[in-house]
Amino acid sequence: MAKEVSRERWRNEFGEWFRDILISAEIMDYRYPIKGCGVWLPYGFQIRKNVFQLIRNILDATGHKEALFPLLIPETSLAKEAEHVRGFEAQCFWVTHGGQKPLKIRYALRPTSETILGPMLHLWIRAHTDLPLKLYQVVTVFRYETKATRPILRMREFDFKEAHTAHATAEEAEAEVKEEIENYRKFFDELCVAYKISRRPEWDKFAGAVYTIAFDMLCPDGRTLQIGTVHNLGQNFAKAFDVTYEKPDGTHEYVWQTCAGISGRGIASVLIAHGDDHGIVLPPRIAPIQIIVVPIPYKEKGETVNKKCLEVVAKLKKAGFRAEADTREDVTPGAKYYHWELRGVPIRIEIGPRDIENNEATLVRRDTLTRETCKMEALESRLRSLMETMTREMRRKAWEWLEKHTFQTSSLEEAKQLISERAGIVEAPWCGDSECGQQIEEAVDARILGVPEETQTKPKGKCILCGKPAKTIIRIAITY
Ligand SMILES: [Zn+2]
């Protein structure tokens, strides 16, 4: 058995670890002179691209069509759905001038796009044959965050994949919510990220929604991070924008809508879930470079070794792997290992003169740093199976970690204790009353993530706070 790769710093200094890794692994430069805005560096952008490609593929396969809507929202549109505007107006960046001239109507930079789609759906949807309409876009959105901003985790301009759908009936919208949840499961499973799915409490749902389902992951510091949301909008926005369709019997009805979002946090989730003290660890599926080949030169054999490495890379590329050779002359093999481990490259191949003689290579897995030798003729099949094993084990490890840090209790004191220790997610019985729920948040000094959506197990016993018979389980955690 290989000894565990150290995760001390990842676990105990997570905030600094994450901030450092973004710079040192060349993912994001956060020094842009506007607070809450950062630059995706080329390596980080490749990761971003591969992660968003994954969600694009999943959405395309379920009949969603990619589109692109404008950035600006007239204030009159934003104001149409009362709850929505209350929830978002204080968070908007406002465009007030065109050149030197004050605009008659202010424009908001999109904080989300329901009110951008509204007027267009009003024009597009006429008959039941126009439904369902399933669209998505990948854009950046803007929110004037007043909390402390953090690179990727809480920005003022951030990446957003938003899906918007319209349906003929409430049942179809409900089924779409289920489909979106399944889509997100697939997505995070591919990223080897473990999650809890919770129905957010009434007081924490999306502004304008009937209800909100959210995916949360657990960060190493014991705080949860919301990484995906699915909202059932009912007919709220359809009524605000007068989006109706003619039914087969000639009557008209408002459409039923859903929306679902994954932000840059979807990318952060991969970096966070698998990190260790050597850097990030990327699942092969989304790694910009899956295999890095490092020559181990020996005296006058340098040229032969480099040549062999380039040959191997050419072969691997032809076989469909994303492979590169690091043939830099002025860098030692040790420094190269460090460089690529930091950037999370799943597999390293080392080739030296003896390997060439024996017609073999040394393979090192990034997640465990275990080494093995492999005959050249078996290289491609071994790499394929190694990547599969690695993906499976990364996923298992992430789930184990989440389950190990999820606690069940019916004692308020114990819940408080667990939260104050930043132990993880606490699950407790609850009476279902909103006021009591908000008092629980105050009592434990944490947030209620909501009611588990994955399981429908009936709770036994009494509400953790008021002592009335429990109706559901709630999840409690300190959140980002
Ligand atoms: Zn209660």
**For residue 3, what pLDDT is reported?**
65
Which of 3-12, 72-81, 102-111, 310-319 is the least confident region? 3-12
pLDDT tens-digit readout, 319-360 = 999 999 999 999 999 999 999 999 999 999 999 999 999 999
- Token representation of residue 179: 């489909």
Cis peptide before 346 (omega within 30 of 0): no
Task: Give the distance from CA 13 to its chain's centroid.
Answer: 21
Asked if residue 145 lies in contact with residue 25, where contact means CB atoms within 8 angstroms, the answer is no
Closest CA to 168 of 216, 194, 132: 132
pLDDT of residue 233: 97
Range with lowest mean pLDDT among 82-86, 102-106, 283-287, 304-308 = 82-86
Q: How far is the CA of 427 from the centre of ligand 1 (A)?
A: 14
Name every residue whose Cβ is closer than 8 Å to that of residue 465 and which is 6 or more positions away in sequence: 412, 430, 431, 436, 439, 440, 443
Ligand 1 center from residue 405 Cα (angstroms):
24
Q: Residue 29 pLDDT more than 90?
A: yes
Q: What is the pLDDT of residue 455?
A: 83
* 140 close to 69: Cβ distance less than 8 angstroms: no
Q: Which two tokens stand for residue 56?
A: 């694009």
Has residue 2 got a pLDDT over 60?
Answer: no
Query: How far is the centre of ligand 1, averaged over its atoms, from the C-alpha of 177 (Å)?
Result: 28
At residue 460, the pLDDT reads: 80
Q: How many angstroms separate the alpha carbon of residue 480 from the centre of ligand 1?
A: 25
Consecutive H or E run containing 472: strand 472-479
Cα of 468 from ligand 1 centre, angstroms: 6
The per-residue pLDDT for 297 is 86
Domain boundaries, the chain: 8-273, 291-386, 407-479
Distance of CA 104 from the midpoint of ligand 1 (Å): 49
d(C-alpha 416, C-alpha 218), whole Å: 18
Using a CB cutoff of 5 Å, list residues around ligand 1, an ion: 431, 436, 463, 465-466
- Cα(72) to centroid of ligand 1, in Å? 43
Specify whether the CB–CB gap between 342 and 280 falls below 8 A: yes
Spell out where 347-417 has E strands.
347-351, 360-365, 371-375, 406-408
Give the phi and the psi of residue 121 in degrees, each rounded to 5.
Answer: -65, -35
| 415, 476 contact by CB (below 8 A) | yes
What are the start-end ranges of the H helices in 91-141? Answer: 114-124
Average pLDDT over residues 51-59: 98
Asked if residue 191 lies in contact with residue 344, where contact means CB atoms within 8 angstroms, the answer is no
Counting runs of H as helices and runs of E as strands, what totals does the chain give?
15, 23
CATH number of 8-273: 3.30.930.10
Predicted pLDDT at 4: 82
Q: Which residue has the tokens 């759908």?
A: 165
User: 447 C-alpha vs ligand 1 centroid, how far in Å?
Assistant: 15
For residue 89 the two structure tokens come to: 């107006």
Beta bridge partners of 201: none
- Taking CA atoms, 308 is separated from 45, 192, 293, 471, in Å, by 30, 34, 10, 66
CA of 197 to the centre of ligand 1 (A): 22
Condensed to tens digits (0 to 9), the pLDDT of residues 123-149 reads 999 999 999 999 999 999 999 998 899
Averaged pLDDT, 49-64? 98
List of residues 6+ apart from 396 with CB closer than 8 A? none
Cα(437) to ligand 1 centroid in Å equals 7
- Contact yes or no for 461/206 (Cβ under 8 A): no
Summarize pLDDT for 273-298 with one digit per residue, the tens.
Answer: 999 999 999 999 999 999 999 999 87
- CA of 430 from ligand 1 middle (Å) equals 5
Predicted confidence at residue 97, as pLDDT, reads 98
Assigned token pair, 291:
């295999």
Residue 457: the pLDDT is 73
Where on the phi/psi map is residue 462: left (φ > 0), alpha (ψ -120 to 50), or beta? beta
* Ligand 1 center from residue 417 Cα (angstroms): 19
pLDDT of residue 247: 93
CA separation for the pair 125, 240 (Å, rounded): 15
The CA 84 to ligand 1 mean position distance, Å, reads: 28
Instruction: Give the per-residue pLDDT at 84.
Output: 87
In the chain, the amino acid numbered 340 is W
From the CA of 429, how far away is ligand 1's center (Å)? 8
3-state secondary structure of 315: helix
* Residues 208-218 pLDDT 10s: 999 999 999 99
Instruction: Give me the CATH code for the 407-479 domain, please.
Output: 3.30.110.30
In DSSP terms, 95 is beta-bridged to 107
The residues facing 428 across adjacent strands are 474
- Say yes or no to pLDDT of 318 above 70: yes
Look at 92-101, 175-184, 193-202, 448-457 and tell me which has the smallest mean pLDDT.
Answer: 448-457
CA of 444 to the centre of ligand 1 (A): 14
What pLDDT is recorded for position 298? 78
- As to burial, measured by CB atoms within 10 angstroms (0-12 exposed, 13-18 middle, 19+ buried), residue 463 is buried
CATH number of 291-386: 3.40.50.800
What is the Cα–Cα distance from 88 to 107, expressed in whole angstroms? 13
- Determine the average pLDDT of the residues in 58-70: 98
- 479 Cα–ligand 1 center, Å: 22
